[in-house]
Amino acid sequence: MDRVLKAGGVLRIENPHATVRAAYRRALASIPPDEVPDRKRLTYRGRDRGDLVIELIDKPDPGPPPPAPIPVPDTIDPGLPLLAHLAAHPQLLDVSEKTRDRALRLVQALVGECARRGHETRPRDDGPSFELVIRGETIEVTVNEKKDKITRIADEDLARLKYDWQRASPTTVLDWSGRLVMTLPSERRWADRKRWTLDSQLSSLLMTAESIADGRIAARAHAERARIERRERWEQAVQEAREAYVVELNRGRLADQLQAQAHARDLRAYADAITARATTLHIEAECRAALGWAGWIRQEADRLDPLLVAGQLSYLTPDEVPPAKLDPFMPKGMSAYSPLDSPHRW
């Protein structure tokens, strides 16, 4: 042991002779457990060939201790509401009459332990057996007795035999086995086995039921957080889409105003040219017509000129923007019509 510790926990003996290997193995086997450091153990490789390497390694984590067994009562308490309900409705337990008493006592053991832990037990409204209510989560528990295939001759077939030489054919049927099974959601089962009984597994069953309840609660909390995050992303996307829409709207207005103002300027220049031409006309009617046409063109220029409309000379930010106009600016997979958590979309 000292040599292994001095070597830093790994002692290598290069290709030793078989007798040396055997001597090391005997030495390892003779080391008292109290000489090995806590939570460590000795191991080796190279038993028959190559280098013999002796290592001091960590012991595996033993894990949590097994849960304490739940005591099963010797008698049935008819005063418990669930037990009274199951006794009054025997079809809720798929067991034989021979094992019914034991099945009820196992249920009673769970009822008592659940009450001690602050859980509720009650009959099921939509199926057999009963349900646990753990931290607000409903966990269904079914109780049944396994059936085995057996080969036997029916009594009525034996009754029909009249002579000693006659024979009856055996038939294969399913018969009660006496082995009880309790099942939780997702087909988690605990049953009587050769190495243990269902009685000894009740604490494991209840611990699993609590784990199922905690998992559902955690999943719901995760889903709610995800829903809130999705909604926040949607609201942010709508805000960014609105800002992008307003920028695009004003860019369009600016382009339209520049075009309108240039057109108005061209109209006025043309009206001035018409007026100048009218002064050269010698026929009075033609002169008046030309001047009238120039006047109308100037009115049209004033109508089109954005510089003459004070309300147009500002950055426009509309109070409301319909979803149809925001949708082109939304990220792919999102719509401005409804949030991501809307039942109409997801």
pLDDT, tens only, 251-264: 999 999 999 999 99
Residue listed under structure tokens 């669930």: 82
Q: Residue 11: which residues within 8 A CB-CB, separation 6 or more?
A: 3, 4, 53, 54, 55
- Give pLDDT, residue 346: 42
Angle at 51 between CA 46 and CA 57, to 5 degrees: 65
Each residue of 113-137: pLDDT tens digit?
Answer: 999 999 999 998 767 789 999 999 9
Instruction: Evaluate if pTM is beyond 0.85.
Output: no
Dihedral, 252, 254, 259, 264 alpha carbons, nearest 10: 140
Q: State both tokens at 13.
A: 């003996």
Q: Residue 249: which residues within 8 A CB-CB, separation 6 or more?
A: 316, 318
- Give pLDDT, residue 342: 52
Question: Does residue 271 contact residue 299 with C-beta atoms inside 8 Å?
Answer: no
Name the helix (H) or strand (E) containing 133: strand 130-134
Name the helix (H) or strand (E) containing 51: none
Question: Does residue 56 contact residue 42 with C-beta atoms inside 8 Å?
Answer: yes
- Widest pairwise Cα distance in the chain: 149
Q: Which residues of the chain have pLDDT under 50?
A: 343-344, 346
Distance (Å, whole) CA 180 – CA 265:
98
- Give pLDDT, residue 198: 95
Distance (Å, whole) CA 328 – CA 319:
19
